[in-house]
A = this chain, B = another copy of it.
């Protein structure tokens, strides 16, 4: 181990985070979806948990944004809602054979492991029919929605024919369909409750245009029975924590209308047990709050026995179906690594929102040809009649398992704790032992310092827990699929180097 560390150390010129002015320039010019920069975190504007577009700006920001007649304050504020870590991911120089000490990208939830399957699958001889030219049904093409319904039934272990395609709408990405669903369920200013830690971009997706108020559901204080801070149960929402968040939103003047659950959980990399999901479902129904189960990682459960996953669609199903309060969102971005195709889906059995949900989707429709393409992929069978999706998913699980095995072995070896992962593209790592003790710094600043040290001294770019509104500092999401095989191997070396250097 030491040799490896020495050999890196000798060549060590890891990427510097640009100074503020350059960061600002990079941010303004970045063509990617990003937010405030690394360098502004200490002195710059700070988002607090619990905000809507109208509340998010400080008085000074508001004055500076609202004074302009050549742009809107709401547009400007939307940018401030973008997760910082995405800006960082774009502005830091990346590893490449030409820049061997560049940062290894382990922060953005993408999979680089599936090109060998997906590129040939996209390069098929697709027959585009004349009807593709013209306006399409706003909720999506019937053929594609039927294929998506069958795929859902198979993936989520539902009865064949259970999904009513009239309740299914496909739109340009999970964020797009989530936004539309929320607009159909809640008024501007209403609160969406989300258990922490949560996917940082939910704040952009729900607040930027839909103008909702995000109310974090903190869970730690509501688990007196949990003794270890690394027990996954500490993160489970309970009636008490949901009640507390409900009250908090009400006191802040925002009617609690939606509970958004990430299931499998991003960034934790685990699933909520069925009993936890049932608590959420029952709590929602009794409180008349809408439950949205975001199951975008439902096809990436690589340790099914440990995961114990059960879809909200299965758990909430009664003789009368899902009823008006349970909804589901999904996309092909994660399980298929097809984020570039912008294919999301929403399912609901609430008849009152059916028409609005179908019609509003006109503002974020998927290209007809992309629908045709993904329909073809979902329906594809090989010469023996086996589903291509089944083979693909099996192979994906094998690869996910192999990488997580390699990564957690190294973490075990260097005594870095983590939640035992079962699903998704990430592992939730507890690096709190490496936080500085400096008592002049806030928890956020201490975590930030560690985060910058990981990037600048060791070339490891992770998602900081602070951006996911995690309650304690020093936790990071590591997206172990975001790197190529070579980069992933190198990341293992760097993790060892980091731990050894810091002890």
Contact = CB atoms under 8 A, between A and B. Distances in A.
A342 B359 contact: no
Nearest to A323: B70
A352 B78 contact: no
A122 B115 contact: no
Which of A69, A131, A142, A187 has the most chain B CB atoms closer than 10 A to its own CB?
A: A69
Give the copy number: 2
Contacts of A142: 31
A74 B187 contact: yes
A33 interface: yes
Contacts of A367: 172, 340-343, 366-367, 369-370
A350 B29 CA distance: 14
Contact of A135 (B32, B115, B176): B32
Contacts of A131: 340
A340 B133 contact: yes
A132 B128 contact: no
B75 A31 contact: no
A352 B70 contact: yes
Given A33-B359, A367-B370, A122 B118 contact: no
Contacts of A337: 133-134
Contacts of A205: 363
Given A74-B188, A341-B368, A367-B340, A82 B359 contact: yes
A340 B136 contact: yes
A90 to B, nearest CB: 10
Interface of A: 27-29, 31-34, 68-76, 78-79, 82, 108, 110, 114-115, 118-119, 122-123, 125, 127-139, 142, 166, 172-173, 175-176, 179, 183-188, 190, 204-205, 208-211, 288, 290, 324-325, 337-343, 350, 352-360, 362-370, 373
